[in-house]
């Protein structure tokens, strides 16, 4: 294979024949049955096919982006059609008068008769009996045509089907029975080379179920495996827990919300049980997850174990440390901070004390997972903003506990709609803080066109004049091909124009973490008044004095991400504003309206999920290979529930998949790392 082609396939996540044949079409173009020109409907809906002869053709070169236009008159015995192609200068040598052609495109009525804007065409040889087909249309990448990809996939399908061992049916016979599924090999052929649309439907029906089923089986297996691991022993009785609760409540400068108390009770109940806790704590920004974490730590410490709390950035680790230490030290709990920027001597001291058990709680960044960090008795691992960490980083921290699997609490501010969270992440128990502490003013959100920018920055100036601070977020760091605002340019422009005279700073992901931290510190201290940035501010920085969040080109961001950005303001007592600047009237912009309407992260997540199928589930990064290919969680939710039920009964009946009936399933799971996605959350 040519390296160029290999690189193109790689961009599509295709590395093996197996990947290739699992690259499914997103739709099919019906290239059968051309319509007579005379019979073209008056207002054709969508694309139509025509077969005829070119009687006249002309090409012109154009200035500007389109570059060329070809116009032909096509005749099929019943009537005439004007066919137009834009931007395809090579047609000049390809199409000639007298040729027979098959055309597909959108047709409109003009005074001069029907006119087709041609989507695709193909020359039909003289004497060739025309036979169109259903053309699968694949997701493509720059430089790779559908035709080339289709040919490759066709080859892949043939190679695969020729080898009886290469399509093992992962669905056990008992699962297939009664569901009317087509055979795995048949499905593979039919999804790529259907004879009719009904075949594609039958293939999809089976493949979608299969995707859900395989995911659900891996989740169920993993859950069973975790439950069987040895846990740290923290078996406090009911009375001891009640005592602990009063002690904890007395430590806090505020009263826990009902939701916080419920979630803390769930956490404590896990930790005092026999199996290692594996809990996901969801709560919108500002809902007070850290207090729950502190409660979990208190229990661990009282039971004689150490806790490691990992945050994604140094600033966050410092903020969390200050908060936690302030509360826990009053209970005599010894905590320490471990981040990359520590001085050697301080670091060595922390390491010694951790190893000796003289420190109960360590708060840090990924500096916690370096090899020389050892614990005397690690019993609880807490991961803040869990989606910022890779699978391996989380596993590495857990692996520092010896002789048992530590209780694990992962926290996220990206809400996952309830039903989906419970089902997709069945290997995690989910707790939700669905209530904000009292007295918070909801952030007011506006979606505005770019033309409103002068007014928006005028408003920013007013807020700054009133002693507040503002964020301005841009999608890109520097000028790029995409027509979007870049932070560098915007910073330069705003400093010179709209925000002239204000203390404006720039922060982006390509700066060193020292530089970033310095800027964030100056912003936190209130010296910097307006912070222009990329989405590096997304993660939980706490600047209570910031009251305005302006997001430029908001339409290029996901809803969940915008909701996160909005959470950066409204953390203090002053009224706060989030202004989303987006292309006016476009569909992408209308999607943002939900943010104007609600501050409820779950509603936002639900909308996001509807749009994107999987949504940003807990912020788990979706690696190409482990995404659903055909399944769409919202659209196919009933299928998901059915597949999950089937998967669970298979695993309950045969927890190690050793029965002959599950041989294909076991082999399939062994051959693919199907649970990357699941591992990513635990
Ligand atoms: P997040 O869930 O975003 O991590 P934090 O734990 O950082 O939220 O809490 C946000 C702020 O709210 C903190 O300043 C914290 O001290 C405060 N807070 C937490 N719980 C309560 C409560 N029950 N009442 C009042 N303030 C609270
Ligand atoms: Mg937090």
Assign domain 444-605 to its CATH architecture.
Answer: 3-Layer(aba) Sandwich (3.40)
Q: Average pLDDT, stretch 215-243? A: 88
Q: Which of 289, 290, 383, 436 to mutate to test the pocket of ligand 1 (most atoms within 8 A of CB)?
A: 290
Give the CA radius of gyration of the chain.
30
How far, in Å, from the CA of 249 to the mean position of ligand 2?
19
Question: How confident is the prediction for the chain on average, in pLDDT?
Answer: 87
Question: For residue range 409-450, what is the model confidence (pLDDT) as tens digits?
Answer: 999 887 776 656 655 666 678 888 988 888 888 899 999 999
- Rounded Cα gap, residues 538 and 523, in angstroms: 15
Q: Is the CB of 287 under 6 A from ligand 1?
A: yes
pLDDT on residue 636:
84
Q: What is the pLDDT of residue 494?
A: 92
8 A C-beta contact, residue 419 and residue 425: no
8 A C-beta contact, residue 477 and residue 509: yes
Nearest atom within ligand 1 for CA of residue 285: 3
- Check pLDDT > 50 for residue 26: yes
Question: Where does 357-471 have alpha helices with state H?
Answer: 391-398, 418-424, 453-465
CA of residue 287 to ligand 2 center, whole Å:
8
Residues 6 or more apart whose CB falls under 8 angstroms from that of 152 comprise: 9, 20
Mean pLDDT for the stretch of residues 640-647 = 90
Considering 24-38, 73-87, 594-608, the range whose residues carry the highest mean pLDDT is: 73-87
Report the pLDDT averaged over residues 525-546: 83
Token output for 308: 């490691």
pLDDT (average), residues 440-469: 94
The predicted structure's pLDDT at residue 425: 62
- pLDDT surpassing 70 at residue 481: no
Which pLDDT belongs to residue 3?
A: 86
How would residue 678 be classed by pLDDT, with cut points 50, 70 and 90? very low
The ligand 1 atom nearest the CA atom of 540 = 3
- Tokens of residue 41, six digits: 């409907």
Instruction: Report residue 45's pLDDT band, with 50, 70 and 90 as the boundaries.
Output: confident
Ligand minimally distant from the alpha carbon of residue 571: 1
Distance between CA 244 and CA 673 in Å, rounded? 42
CATH architecture of residue range(s) 33-132: Beta Barrel (2.40)
Q: What is the position in ligand 1's atom list of the atom closest to the CA of 293?
A: 6
The more confidently predicted of residues 148 and 387 is 148
For ligand 1, is residue 152 a contact (CB within 6 Å)? no
Q: Which of 612, 617, 656, 618 is nearest to 631 (CA)?
A: 612
Ligand 1 probe mutation, 252, 263, 291, most atoms within 8 A of CB: 291
**Which one, of 355, 389, 420, 454, lies nearest residue 621 by Cα?**
389
Give the class (CATH, top level) of 238-433: alpha beta
In this structure, the residue with its CA closest to atom 18 of ligand 1 is 288
**What's the pLDDT score for residue 405?**
94
For 11: left if phi > 0, alpha if psi spans -120 to 50, otherwise beta; the answer is: alpha
Q: Mind listing the pLDDT tens digit for each residue in 272-297?
A: 999 999 998 988 878 899 999 999 99
**Ligand 1 neighbourhood includes 281 CB (under 6 angstroms):** no
Q: Which residue has the higher pLDDT, 611 or 254?
A: 254
Which ligand 1 atom sits nearest the alpha carbon of residue 567?
Answer: 3
Q: Quick one: what percent of the chain has pLDDT higher than 70?
A: 92
* Cβ of 568 less than 6 Å from ligand 1: no
Kindly indicate the confidence band of residue 673, based on its pLDDT and cuts at 50, 70 and 90.
Answer: low
Q: What's the confidence (pLDDT) of residue 349?
A: 96
Smallest-distance ligand from the CA of 254: 1
Measured in Å, residue 437 CA sits from the centre of ligand 1 at 7
437, 546, 564, best to mutate for ligand 1 pocket (most atoms within 8 Å of CB): 437
Count how many Cα atoms sit within 13 Å of the Cα of residue 329 in the half-sphere of its side chain: 9
* pLDDT band (50, 70, 90) for residue 315: confident
CA of 571 to the centre of ligand 1 (A): 9
Report which of residues 144 and 424 the model is more confident about.
Answer: 144
Residue 592 has pLDDT above 80, yes or no: yes
- Residue 616 has a pLDDT of 43
Task: Find, among 31, 288, 267, 285, the residue nearest to 137 by Cα.
Answer: 31
pLDDT of 208 reads: 93
- Closest to 667 in 3D by CA, of 24, 167, 206, 174: 167
Q: Is the dihedral of CA 657, 658, 664, 668 positive or negative?
A: positive
Residue nearest to ligand 1 atom 4, measured at CA: 289
- Specify the 3-state DSSP secondary structure of 53: strand
Whether the domain at 238-433 and the domain at 444-605 fall into the same CATH topology: yes
pLDDT (mean) for 665-679: 64
Query: Which ligand sits nearest to residue 383's alpha carbon?
Result: 2
| Bridge pairing between strands 429-433 and 444-448 | unpaired
| Kind plus residue range of the DSSP H or E element containing 218 | helix 197-227
pLDDT band at 119 (very low <50, low <70, confident <90, very high): confident
pLDDT score recorded for residue 418: 61
Please determine, for residue 90, whether its predicted confidence score (pLDDT) is greater than 60.
yes
Say how far apart CA 457 and CA 472 lie, in whole Å.
Answer: 10
User: Quick one: which ligand is closest to 291's CA?
Assistant: 1
Tell me which range, 316-320, 410-414, 442-446, 600-604, is most confidently predicted by mean pLDDT: 442-446
CA dist., res. 437 & res. 599, Å (int): 14
pLDDT range class, residue 538, cuts 50, 70, 90: low
In the predicted model, is pLDDT for residue 615 greater than 60? no
pLDDT value at 528 more than 60 = yes
Query: Where in the chain are the domains?
Result: 33-132, 238-433, 444-605
Interval 160-190: pLDDT, tens: 999 877 777 899 989 988 888 998 899 999 9
Task: Pick the residue whose CA is nearest to atom 22 on ligand 1.
Answer: 437
Res 39 pLDDT > 50: yes
The secondary structure of 631-667 as a DSSP string is: --TTTTHHHHHHHHHHHHHHHHH-TT--SGGGHHHHH
Query: Is 572 touching ligand 1 by the criterion CB < 6 Å?
Result: no
Give 403 Cα–ligand 2 centroid separation in angstroms: 30
Asked if the model's pLDDT at residue 675 lies above 50, the reply is no
Highest-scoring range by mean pLDDT, 251-265, 410-424, 552-566, 614-628: 251-265
Ligand 1 pocket residue status of 291, Cβ below 6 Å: yes
For residue 656, is pLDDT > 80?
yes
- pLDDT band, residue 679 (cuts 50/70/90): very low
Cα–Cα distance between 139 and 19 in angstroms, integer?
13
Residue 539 has a pLDDT of 56
For residue 373, pLDDT beyond 60: yes
What pLDDT is recorded for position 513?
A: 76
What is d(CA 353, CA 366) in angstroms, rounded to the nearest whole number?
18
């Amino acid at each position: 294979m040519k390296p160029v082609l290999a690189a193109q396939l790689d961009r599509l996540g295709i590395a093996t024949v197996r990947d290739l044949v699992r690259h499914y079409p997103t739709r099919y173009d019906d290239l059968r049955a051309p319509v007579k020109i005379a019979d073209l409907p008056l207002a054709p809906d969508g694309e139509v096919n025509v077969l005829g002869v070119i009687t006249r053709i002309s090409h012109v070169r154009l200035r500007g982006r389109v570059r060329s236009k070809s116009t032909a008159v096509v005749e099929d015995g019943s009537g005439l059609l004007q066919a137009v192609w834009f931007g395809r200068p090579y047609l000049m040598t390809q199409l000639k008068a007298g040729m027979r052609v098959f055309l597909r495109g959108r047709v409109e009525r003009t005074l001069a008769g029907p006119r087709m804007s041609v989507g695709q065409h193909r020359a039909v040889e003289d004497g060739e009996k025309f036979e169109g087909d259903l053309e699968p249309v694949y997701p493509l990448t720059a430089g790779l045509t559908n035709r080339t990809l289709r040919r490759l996939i066709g080859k892949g399908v043939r190679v695969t089907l020729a080898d009886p061992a290469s399509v093992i049916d992962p669905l056990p016979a008992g699962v297939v029975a009664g569901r009317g599924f087509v055979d795995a090999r048949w499905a593979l052929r039919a999804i790529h080379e259907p004879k009719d649309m009904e075949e594609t439907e039958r293939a999809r029906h089976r493949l979608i179920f299969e995707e859900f089923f395989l995911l659900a089986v891996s989740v169920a297996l993993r859950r069973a495996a975790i439950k069987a691991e040895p846990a740290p022993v923290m078996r406090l009785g009911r009375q001891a827990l009640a005592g602990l609760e009063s002690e904890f409540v007395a430590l806090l400068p505020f009263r826990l919300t009902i939701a916080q108390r419920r979630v803390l009770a769930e956490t404590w109940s896990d930790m005092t049980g026999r199996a290692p806790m594996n809990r996901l704590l969801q709560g919108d920004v500002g809902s007070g997850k850290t207090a729950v974490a502190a409660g979990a730590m208190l229990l661990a410490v009282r039971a004689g174990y150490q806790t490691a709390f990992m945050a994604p950035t140094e600033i966050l680790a410092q903020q969390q440390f200050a908060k936690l230490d302030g509360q826990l030290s009053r209970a005599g709990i010894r905590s320490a901070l471990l981040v990359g920027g520590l001085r050697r001597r301080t670091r060595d001291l922390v390491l010694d004390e951790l190893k000796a058990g003289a420190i109960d709680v360590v708060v840090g960044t990924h500096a916690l997972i370096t090899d020389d960090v050892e614990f005397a008795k690690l019993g609880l691992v807490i991961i803040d903003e869990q989606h910022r960490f890779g699978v391996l980083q989380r596993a590495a921290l857990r692996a520092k506990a010896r002789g048992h699997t530590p209780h694990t609490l992962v926290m996220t501010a990206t809400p996952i709609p309830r039903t989906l969270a419970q089902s997709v992440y069945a290997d995690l128990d989910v707790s939700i803080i669905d209530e904000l502490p009292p007295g918070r003013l909801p952030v007011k959100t506006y979606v505005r066109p770019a033309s409103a920018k002068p007014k928006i920055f005028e408003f920013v100036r007013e807020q700054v004049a009133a002693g507040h601070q503002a964020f301005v977020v841009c999608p890109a760091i520097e000028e790029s091909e995409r027509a979007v605002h870049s932070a560098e340019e915007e910073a330069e422009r705003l400093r010179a124009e709209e925000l002239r005279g204000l203390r404006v700073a720039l922060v982006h992901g390509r700066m060193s973490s020292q530089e970033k931290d310095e800027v964030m510190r100056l912003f936190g201290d209130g010296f910097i008044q307006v912070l222009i940035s990329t989405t590096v501010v997304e993660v939980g920085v706490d600047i209570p004095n910031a009251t305005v969040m302006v997001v430029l080109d908001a339409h290029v961001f996901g809803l969940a991400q915008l909701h996160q950005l909005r959470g950066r303001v409204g953390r203090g007592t002053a009224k706060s504003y989030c202004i989303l600047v987006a292309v006016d009237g476009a569909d992408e912009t209308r999607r943002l309206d939900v943010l104007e309407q609600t501050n409820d992260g779950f509603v936002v997540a639900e909308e996001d999920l509807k749009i994107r199928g999987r949504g940003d589930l807990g912020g788990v990064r979706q690696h190409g290979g482990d995404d659903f290919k055909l399944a769409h969680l919202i659209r196919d939710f009933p299928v998901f529930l059915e597949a999950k039920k089937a998967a669970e009964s298979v695993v309950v009946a045969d927890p190690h998949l050793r029965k002959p009936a599950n041989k294909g399933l076991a082999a399939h799971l062994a051959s693919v790392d199907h649970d990357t996605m699941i591992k990513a959350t635990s």
